[in-house]
Chains A and B, each alone.
Chain A
Amino acid sequence: MSAGITKEHLEQTLREKLSADHVEVTDTSGGCGQNYDVIIVSSIFEGKTLLQKHRLVNDAAKNEIAQLHAFSQKTYTPTQWVELSNKK
């Protein structure tokens, strides 16, 4: 087993590979670094189904996900993200 994936590494990978406007990675493992929740906002999600969006993310972070115990994702287009922020 490797030492694990850092939050920063995962964030950077997703940001680069998905041309994301916004990436939020939350470590839900209590510090061991094997459980992450991520929020990704990118215009490449435009017009995609939920399954297609999640596949894009899984593909971008393939090597990283393989080393994690758990990985949970929320994907938004920039428009959806603005709508969501306004609701809060």
Chain B
Amino acid sequence: ILCRYLSESLKKSLDETVQKNDVVLFMKGTPERPQCGFSRAVVQILHAQGLDFSKVQTFNVLEDNELREGVKEYSQWPTVPQVYIKGEFIGGCDIVLNMHQSGELEDLLLKGGLVEES
């Protein structure tokens, strides 16, 4: 139980990943084939926002247990999916859904130049 998953090298590569990519999504499965309802919900919301998925760097945590546990430690967030936008941790499914409904997510994506005004 005391073993730590977040090695220095993984931390460094996560730092680089979230800084270099506009949108990073850690999920169960792939955008084409999500393997959990929460991950699917986040993919659907990002699609609904009109986000171009070529701008989204996704990682399937089911294929990499070190990543699955490491990303939880990195974000200090206990669950997957996890969304990063412009280097900043946004949250999991509940937060993304809530921000989608309130319009905050659209504002954030517009501000970052990731979607166009409809």
Contacts and interface: CB of A to CB of B under 8 A. Distances in A.
Contact of B94 (A54, A62, A66): A54
B60 to A, nearest CB: 18
A81 interface: no
Contacts of A71: 79
**7 pairs of A and B residues whose beta carbons are closest in the complex:** A65-B78, A51-B91, A50-B95, A58-B78, A72-B94, A73-B94, A54-B95
Nearest to B97: A72
Contacts of A55: 76-77
A51 B92 CA distance: 9
Interface of B: 38, 76-79, 89-95, 98-99
A55 B79 CA distance: 11
A73 B96 CA distance: 12
B95 A51 contact: yes
A50 B99 contact: yes
A50 B91 contact: yes
Contacts of A22: none
B79 A51 contact: no
Contacts of A50: 91, 95, 98-99
